[in-house]
Amino acid sequence: MKTKTHRKDKIQLITLGCSKNLVDSETLMHQLDYNQYLVEHNPTGKHHSEIIIINTCGFIDRAKEESIETILTYAKLKKKGAVQKLYVTGCLSQRYKDNLEEEIPEVDAFFGTMEMPALLNRLDADYRHELVGERMLSTPSHYAYFKISEGCNRTCSFCAIPLMRGKHISVPKEELIARARNLARNGVKELMLIGQELTYYGLDLYKKRELSSLLEELTKVEGIEWIRLHYAYPSKFPLEVLDVIRDQAKICKYLDIPLQHISDPILKSMKRQITRTESEELIGHIRDRIPGVTLRTTMLVGFPGETEENFKELCDFVQKTRFDRLGTFQYSHEEDTSAYLLHDDVPAAVKESRASELMSIQENISLEINQTKIGKTFKTLIDRKENGQYIGRTEADSPEVDNEVIISGEHHLRIGDFYQIQITDVSHFDLMGHPVHPSA
Ligand code: SF4
């Protein structure tokens, strides 16, 4: 077999968008590394590589703008001769390849979300099937995002993801277990399960929902101490998953369940296949079956036809339900989605003010919830040391999006280890504390 020597060639890979895109970049980096390329991910310093790959996002307007601005920045560098080759991959490229080829001719080639072999081929690199599922982690080595499926079979009217990522494809269970073992062998202690829609897992492959049994299998992987669930679609939620979360010590009592809205006419128009009453019943089940669960959700404001009354209903619901975490998106009018046929009638300024009103309600809730933690002790995973302080997370916090625990740097803690931290003070979105004794 031929061996290619690219060791002197450096590639800078820039990843935009969500954790699912990040996993794709990590897979690509591993393939490039195997082909003897030196890869630098998300360079922060001065540009100094001849080959650039941009892994783009095409989810909503703002993400698209960021992707296009990044491509244009590197296209300019290419014009000046500072970059030799410029390649673009990911969701934006999948969705708008033809337009982009016409508009930004400086890019040498655009690739879709499923075209990693073609991208590698363009770089004179082999796509190694035996490496599928292996990654070069870009996160701290003690945690990893863990993609259990690709694509989505839902038809939410606002969502362009199925256009870019295709239909739902579950990764077979045995393959996921092998991947988890491999990650654990390399020091990963926490897996963040992701996919466009976790609860659909298994329906395509096994003709039944298999998230519960997958979770049970994952808890048996030696070395994995925390398993966290993101992106669980609320309609027809498989309730047995709640019992597994409650009963398995390794599964974080944490659930990220994007509701998007609560007002029935909006839910219907969004084609979310769930009503307000059903959403409330589901939240009741979750809280009953998993005492102390941390609930994260996402809301979408400014959907076509969202009246002041609909928005007020949403605010009242958020106020009353007291989610532990809440993220907000503003509606983005995306062609080829079914909502595109509706009139995008909520002005941008109103979308903006609704998003910030919702977040300010949540800010107060978050502070109140955090205040109840003062004096309590939590098992905390230390992620990094920054500006002389340790930064960690409890079971209730996912990286990037949730609270952090800040601990004075005068203690001697190891990154990637667990400690019992007593909380001494809090702010809206962070906790301050000190170690009481090392965790078992
Ligand atoms: S479930 Fe999520 S990814 Fe799938 S169509 Fe709906 S919003 Fe999009």
pLDDT exceeds cutoff 80 at 404: yes
Q: Which band of pLDDT confidence, cut at 50, 70 and 90, is reported for residue 9? A: confident
| Distance from Cα 65 to the centre of ligand 1, integer Å | 21
Q: Measured between alpha carbons, how far is 255 from 241 in angstroms, rounded to an integer?
A: 11
Cα dihedral sign, 31-33-38-40: positive
Task: For a ligand 1 pocket test, name from 152, 200, 259, 331 the mutation site with the most ligand atoms within 8 angstroms of its C-beta.
Answer: 152
pLDDT of residue 409: 85
Please name the residue ranges forming H helices in 261-307: 264-269, 276-289
360-387 confidence digits (pLDDT tens): 999 999 999 999 999 999 999 999 999 9
Task: For a ligand 1 pocket test, name from 147, 148, 156, 199 the mutation site with the most ligand atoms within 8 angstroms of its C-beta.
Answer: 156
Cα dihedral sign, 115-116-117-119: positive
159-195 confidence digits (pLDDT tens): 999 999 999 999 999 999 999 999 999 999 999 999 9
286-334 confidence digits (pLDDT tens): 999 999 999 999 999 999 999 999 999 999 999 999 999 999 999 999 9
pLDDT exceeds cutoff 50 at 1: no
pLDDT of residue 439: 44
Measured by CA distance, the residue closest to atom 8 of ligand 1 is: 159
| Distance from Cα 154 to the centre of ligand 1, integer Å | 6
| Distance from Cα 241 to the centre of ligand 1, integer Å | 20
Contact 221, 266 (CB under 8 A): no
pLDDT exceeds cutoff 50 at 122: yes
Residue partners of 305: CB distance under 8 A and separation at least 6: 265, 266, 269, 342, 343, 345
Q: Measured between alpha carbons, how far is 112 from 26 in angstroms, rounded to an integer?
A: 16
Q: Which atom of ligand 1 lies at the shortest distance from residue 153's CA? A: 4
| Distance from Cα 107 to the centre of ligand 1, integer Å | 30
Q: Measured between alpha carbons, how far is 196 from 121 in angstroms, rounded to an integer?
A: 28
Residue partners of 188: CB distance under 8 A and separation at least 6: 137, 141, 142, 143, 144, 223, 224
Residue partners of 238: CB distance under 8 A and separation at least 6: 199, 209, 211, 212
Average pLDDT, the chain: 94
Token representation of residue 208: 């039944």
21-41 confidence digits (pLDDT tens): 999 999 999 999 999 999 999
Pocket residues for ligand 1 (CB within 6 Å)? 152, 154, 156, 159, 161-162, 196-197, 233
pLDDT of residue 5: 59
Task: Give the chain's domains with CATH numbers.
Answer: 10-131 (3.40.50.12160), 143-371 (3.80.30.20), 377-438 (2.40.50.140)
Q: Measured between alpha carbons, how far is 74 from 71 in angstroms, rounded to an integer?
A: 5
Task: For a ligand 1 pocket test, name from 233, 273, 331 the mutation site with the most ligand atoms within 8 angstroms of its C-beta.
Answer: 233
Transcribe 315-361 into DSSP letters: HHHHHHH--SEEEEEE----TTSGGGGS---S-HHHHHHHHHHHHHH
Contact 276, 263 (CB under 8 A): yes
| Distance from Cα 196 to the centre of ligand 1, integer Å | 6
Residue 22 is which amino acid?
Answer: L
| Distance from Cα 53 to the centre of ligand 1, integer Å | 27
Q: Which atom of ligand 1 lies at the shortest distance from residue 196's CA? A: 3
pLDDT of residue 438: 52
Token representation of residue 421: 């931290």
Bridging pattern class, strands 377-386 and 294-301: unpaired
Measured by CA distance, the residue closest to atom 2 of ligand 1 is: 196
| Distance from Cα 151 to the centre of ligand 1, integer Å | 9
Q: Which atom of ligand 1 lies at the shortest distance from residue 162's CA? A: 5
* Beta strand segments in 196-265, E: 226-229, 251-256
Contact 357, 315 (CB under 8 A): yes
Residue 19, classified by CB atoms within 10 Å of its CB into exposed (0-12), middle (13-18) or buried (19+), is buried
- Reduced to 3 states (helix: H, G, I; strand: E, B; else coil), residue 375 is coil
Residue 269, classified by CB atoms within 10 Å of its CB into exposed (0-12), middle (13-18) or buried (19+), is buried
pLDDT exceeds cutoff 80 at 437: no
| Distance from Cα 235 to the centre of ligand 1, integer Å | 11
| Distance from Cα 191 to the centre of ligand 1, integer Å | 22
70-86 confidence digits (pLDDT tens): 999 999 999 999 899 99
